[in-house]
Structure 1
């Protein structure tokens, strides 16, 4: 019963107080206190700014008014907000102490007080005020009288100062407009770092005026111009978001060498790679070539002038060193300099990179492979291999952020990302060591994502990570997270994120112009294969491989499957008859859908790979519906002896579930199978 009535109870966490009226805030603020009363909106709603903000706040408040307009269709009379706008009649008063700098560890705190028909926002910096505006947009509710803000008091500040999203624009080129719309979504959930992975084996995706052959020969014409980069940086800065570039070296460097092969460790003709794998021997920069360092110095002089952030990410990961092992000159250099391993050679390379970046007043950042003895303590370590390296770096005094467990390209559930706390395995660290853990980044690699599908891979999962990095550690109620995530998901669409729109487009393409109802019913409930498993199916994926199949359209975290699973959980806990009826109705929909989908398949060849998936879903639904009917009759004492399910039959059901859990057409419906197995377990216990 506790589970069934969970959403009707008050949700109370440490430092957060709820009213009986659930709020749709995400990330959840540090302290929320709901008061009696409401502030209704009408066209006379006005705002005023007092204090000493940066000019970005005037632009942000103007965007706030227009978004509030669009959200409520109230048509506010107030137009552009400028420094000359002061209004004693203002309902929303914003007070800011000083302009913010868009830098690490800037003050991002704010407070909101709504009462007596007024809204007061206080913040030390305009960044905090901008976050308050995002919270206000999430607070808007409606009743029979219209739209309103609830009377409330909020005190809020982030738990971690680094809350990032890494977008790989290389493997599949991600163009300017996709990056821009994702910046808007990041701002909506209070993320503050956009990490752009700009170079890798499959492309050099940024214009270099100093060395134009880098992008001319290393990109197939797909790259971001410097004017676009400047616009991205300015657009992000206006929303309080830092932009950190990554130039991967000495490995993952194939795209540097079509234009400048003289800096490679093996001399040959190079082309950018078109397939996704670890290449052996991997094309790698030659750190013993003294001409490499003036080249990199000039390159970083250009790039550090372009990117204002204090950090430059140099990658540094996954260098097997096999090109170094095969090069006699490099081996002779190692012997001459008493370097016992390739790791020591790479550490020497990193020292020289750090010297270059220091000349341009930048700090170096790299993946956790660069954490080797002798590396300067002001280097940021980016942990991707696990929390062991995170804690090791923090213990040694390095600033460090976490991406392990936040790889959203692996298509795990939002729940998995949400419960991955950066400090969950850091109990042995002292307070000063814990302070070296600055936060984390959602990592979106694009081997199996395109400009068409990337939004559906980032969102809404990245919002769950944003809350983990902003909100109190004790905020961990998964069902309530999903409730709020579903509300936010619609608002992300209003901001221009194409995760829902493109889903429909892809289904229409798959259906070859036929009706998509049956196809959508199936794809709504399946999920793409998780982790790296899809890449291990014997198919070679290239940069030009079309990613337009059902596995590419399917959402990583099916809402239909999840909510059905919750329905079964509640039925198992309560045996409520209305829940049983709802479960059987849904099973019947999936049973009937199989024949409907077969009709679609006749004219849509691209959907035919889904036939065994649909057949298994039908069979699963038949079994599940039968199990629910059995449990209903048993609970009412109406089960006849001949209607009992034999042990042999139960074992056959179990064997089917195991077989059906295997991916087909690169999709799976494991969530549904696990849910139906709970019915089977209940029947087995009753037997």
Structure 2
């Protein structure tokens, strides 16, 4: 694999087309490529600033991870080949602490920063630049001036639901450091588990940590490991909801009835602390004091999300307490609880973070609000003066394309409808679609005809910001468009008359829409509000964003597949300038950085997939399954969890050892095939067609061989893939020969693509998209 990475890198650097951008991720704020290169010798003289022993460790780790064959000579000689300068200041902001300048010439590498953290960031960039060329190790001559766009670039890991060994967490810390993520958020407690050792309340881990918990010494060592890499660790103790594990250990703290059995099912559960019980607060004081002694970070997360109020509403003592304290409803009771906890944390010198449900008018402005329900709550928090963090759109436990995460921005551009004098006509519809779990999703759609001849479409979900659709096409009674939502990317294909009929493909799987016309040009004014834009002051409150990797579908054997490489997309979005938004450029760099991370940092995505596939097929068919996996995707968004819910598998004991579990969210090979197909449809070159056919036959033959292998649950999918490949061969031949398909042939292939687009075993056959594109490029003959 290392040879493949070095060959790819050498090709890019030798090609003048690829001189810029370099295969860096996240990409620096400013980069100037110059003539020449620095060549590593068998001895590297390094000059470090005095009084910074951690930088010596960082340089040693940089050399070790880079596999540079050189001996380090730490010297005070000004002629050092690697010169590290620290222009220390006591007034640097969080962002300035990570700023660095990197200059590479033929004779020297000079790395300077205001803080040791900036040096660590610069070393990571330098490591990505190293390449092997013949028998030499070189870095291109250049100058980089770099700083992060946002100060909070986090990753939430969830060992509460499924325990994660420390070795796996440390590997993620190495990968985080490699792409300049700087906050590890540890979700340590939930209904299904308690992972923090309390020496004051040992029943917590005795009851909630039977399948694993972290001792305080282990966590202190993890904090130290993270600090060496320039990463902070923020703990989360989730209260007052998500507390089944806590309630099993200390039932007297719960609103009756307290839980009596360990919770294995996912979802939101009734167990909740009793805010009217004064014993709760000394308990939290002692527990959070222990937590503060283990985690030195100034922030502590208290959760505060998804609190069901049923037991509060039905408890006479709680209701009497609410009347006594003039608390109007359950929301006011939780706000009271939050303020008590905030005061405890304040007494410990800590700043409270909570999920966006904690936001209320009396919440102290110092409390950080983390948005998981949408940009709307992020904006609301920032407008109220709270520091705010975005997680919506960065949920990597929900498979999505990397491009979707890459487009997601904590400070999105504003959206507004055209001026009235630009609109010729418009029509509106209400719509809804059912999900297999949870309430239906409803919204409104407005299609505008402009005087310029263009059509625009806008989508309004209740309580959400206005969304402007892209790629709007109105043709032959069908309206197609695309947009990004909190659920993921959406592709709409609708028939709009007095009713709405059609589908939203959310991620990669469809929902069927229904609805009714509600208004038009002749009936009323266009009811569209502009997308809110934050004031300059409020924008400063947005700290950044945080990846969420919830544990329902995550085990140590799968974590790298789920987290990377899509985590690279979030890392760049939160570090690099907003103007760096070319998705094609990002994908090209992402593929190289993924290979680099496998070779030099320890990324195990490919290794985990191979190990998983070995459990499913004989060794003689492993290569076939790896080949065929290129055509498959896990169902995106929450489709998988919804499927599990319907099947009675929405719980902790459901196995995660099926084909779908070892699939990445998307595959580079299929993405490249789709791009090559689009190019051939424009250029129609025989060599391009030959390459497409080679790939289709490669997939087809692998599918045919696998279909003959007994005891594989996915065998019906293999048959479908083989048939789809044949359809692709037939359609492309018909296009090349200018011989349209018959109506019957077209109908048969349409049925095949529709079947492939449906969720099967929590997967979809993603190849159907390319075959559909081919089908749309040819017209049928009429019998």
Deviates more, 1:18-27 or 1:328-337: 18-27
- Say whether residues 1:445 and 2:550 are aligned partners: yes
Q: Give deviations 1:525-576, integer Å, cap 9, x for gaps.
A: 3111212212222232332332111011111121222121121122223223
> Are the counterparts in 1 of residues 204 and 245 from structure 2 also a CA contact under 8 Å?
yes
Q: Give deviations 1:149-185, integer Å, cap 9, x for gaps.
A: 1111111000000000000111111111111111000
> Are the counterparts in 2 of residues 53 and 98 from structure 1 also a CA contact under 8 Å?
no
Residues 590 and 100 of structure 1, relative CA distance in 2, 3 Å threshold:
farther
Task: Specify the alignment match of 1:595 in structure 2.
Answer: 704
SS at match of 2:352: strand
Task: Specify the alignment match of 2:488 in structure 1.
Answer: none
Distance 1:226 1:625 in 2: 60
> Are the counterparts in 1 of residues 258 and 271 from structure 2 also a CA contact under 8 Å?
no
Residues 221 and 597 of structure 1, relative CA distance in 2, 3 Å threshold:
closer
SS at match of 1:683: coil
SS at match of 1:120: strand
Task: Specify the alignment match of 2:765 in structure 1.
Answer: 669
Partner of residue 368 from structure 2, selected from 370, 380, 384: 380
Task: Specify the alignment match of 2:571 in structure 1.
Answer: 466
Task: Specify the alignment match of 1:77 in structure 2.
Answer: 71
Task: Specify the alignment match of 1:112 in structure 2.
Answer: 102
Runs of 4+ in 1 over 6 A off after TM superposition: 99-103
Deviation of 1:102 after TM superposition, in Å, equals 12
Partner of residue 518 from structure 1, selected from 605, 624, 627: 624
SS at match of 2:186: strand
Matching of residues 438-587 of structure 1 within 5 Å: 438-493=543-598, 494-537=600-643, 538-587=647-696
Distance 1:216 1:354 in 2: 27
Task: Specify the alignment match of 1:44 in structure 2.
Answer: 43
- Say whether residues 1:314 and 2:419 are aligned partners: no
Task: Specify the alignment match of 1:66 in structure 2.
Answer: 64
Deviation of 1:18 after TM superposition, in Å, equals 9.1
Task: Specify the alignment match of 2:726 in structure 1.
Answer: 622
Distance 1:168 1:569 in 2: 40
Deviation of 1:143 after TM superposition, in Å, equals 3.4
Deviation of 1:685 after TM superposition, in Å, equals 9.6
Deviation of 1:141 after TM superposition, in Å, equals 2.7
Distance 2:86 2:779 in 1: 63
Distance 1:323 1:460 in 2: 42
Deviates more, 1:180-189 or 1:490-499: 490-499
Residues 140 and 100 of structure 1, relative CA distance in 2, 3 Å threshold:
farther
Deviation of 1:522 after TM superposition, in Å, equals 1.8
Task: Specify the alignment match of 2:539 in structure 1.
Answer: 434
Unmatched segments (≥5 aa) in structure 1: 1-6, 12-16, 635-642
> Are the counterparts in 2 of residues 612 and 664 from structure 1 also a CA contact under 8 Å?
no
SS at match of 2:363: coil
> Are the counterparts in 2 of residues 102 and 237 from structure 1 also a CA contact under 8 Å?
no
SS at match of 2:365: coil
Partner of residue 189 from structure 1, selected from 155, 179, 184: 179
Q: Give deviations 1:184-210, integer Å, cap 9, x for gaps.
A: 000000000000000000000111111
Deviation of 1:302 after TM superposition, in Å, equals 1.0
Task: Specify the alignment match of 1:392 in structure 2.
Answer: 380
Q: Give deviations 1:572-610, integer Å, cap 9, x for gaps.
A: 2322322211111111112212221023x32xx2xx221
Deviation of 1:257 after TM superposition, in Å, equals 1.3
Distance 1:103 1:328 in 2: 50
Q: Give deviations 1:428-458, integer Å, cap 9, x for gaps.
A: 2111111111100010001011011011111
- Say whether residues 1:656 and 2:752 are aligned partners: yes
> Are the counterparts in 1 of residues 247 and 258 from structure 2 also a CA contact under 8 Å?
no
SS at match of 2:43: coil
> Are the counterparts in 2 of residues 628 and 679 from structure 1 also a CA contact under 8 Å?
yes
SS at match of 2:400: coil
Task: Specify the alignment match of 1:612 in structure 2.
Answer: 716
Deviates more, 1:302-311 or 1:504-513: 504-513
Residues 357 and 104 of structure 1, relative CA distance in 2, 3 Å threshold:
farther
- Say whether residues 1:205 and 2:192 are aligned partners: no
Partner of residue 57 from structure 1, selected from 43, 55, 58: 55
Distance 2:29 2:134 in 1: 31
Matching of residues 411-430 of structure 1 within 5 Å: 411-425=399-413, 428-430=533-535
Task: Specify the alignment match of 1:4 in structure 2.
Answer: none
Residues 101 and 228 of structure 1, relative CA distance in 2, 3 Å threshold:
farther
Q: Give deviations 1:242-294, integer Å, cap 9, x for gaps.
A: 10000111000001012100011113452331121223xx1000000011111
Distance 1:151 1:62 in 2: 22
Distance 1:31 1:685 in 2: 53
Which has the larger strand fraction?
2
Residues 96 and 397 of structure 1, relative CA distance in 2, 3 Å threshold:
same
SS at match of 1:391: helix
> Are the counterparts in 2 of residues 394 and 400 from structure 1 also a CA contact under 8 Å?
yes
Deviation of 1:676 after TM superposition, in Å, equals 2.2
Residues 686 and 479 of structure 1, relative CA distance in 2, 3 Å threshold:
farther
SS at match of 2:689: helix
Deviates more, 1:562-571 or 1:645-654: 645-654
RMSD across aligned positions (CA): 2.2
Distance 2:173 2:602 in 1: 10
> Are the counterparts in 2 of residues 19 and 33 from structure 1 also a CA contact under 8 Å?
no
Distance 1:194 1:204 in 2: 18
SS at match of 2:778: helix
Task: Specify the alignment match of 1:224 in structure 2.
Answer: 214
SS at match of 2:349: coil
- Say whether residues 1:288 and 2:276 are aligned partners: yes
> Are the counterparts in 2 of residues 102 and 240 from structure 1 also a CA contact under 8 Å?
no
Deviates more, 1:343-352 or 1:91-100: 91-100
Q: Give deviations 1:303-336, integer Å, cap 9, x for gaps.
A: 1111111110000000121111121111122122
TM-score, normalization by structure 2: 0.80
Deviates more, 1:489-498 or 1:134-143: 489-498
Partner of residue 118 from structure 2, selected from 123, 128, 132: 128
Task: Specify the alignment match of 2:357 in structure 1.
Answer: 369
Residues 168 and 99 of structure 1, relative CA distance in 2, 3 Å threshold:
farther
> Are the counterparts in 1 of residues 743 and 780 from structure 2 also a CA contact under 8 Å?
no
Task: Specify the alignment match of 2:248 in structure 1.
Answer: 258
TM-score, normalization by structure 1: 0.91
Distance 2:220 2:653 in 1: 28
SS at match of 1:45: strand
Total equivalences in the alignment: 648
Deviates more, 1:456-465 or 1:569-578: 569-578
Deviates more, 1:180-189 or 1:18-27: 18-27
Deviation of 1:359 after TM superposition, in Å, equals 0.5
Distance 2:775 2:92 in 1: 55
- Say whether residues 1:682 and 2:777 are aligned partners: yes
Residues 234 and 150 of structure 1, relative CA distance in 2, 3 Å threshold:
same
Residues 353 and 33 of structure 1, relative CA distance in 2, 3 Å threshold:
same
Q: Give deviations 1:458-511, integer Å, cap 9, x for gaps.
A: 111111100000001011111211111111112222322322212111111111
Task: Specify the alignment match of 1:640 in structure 2.
Answer: none
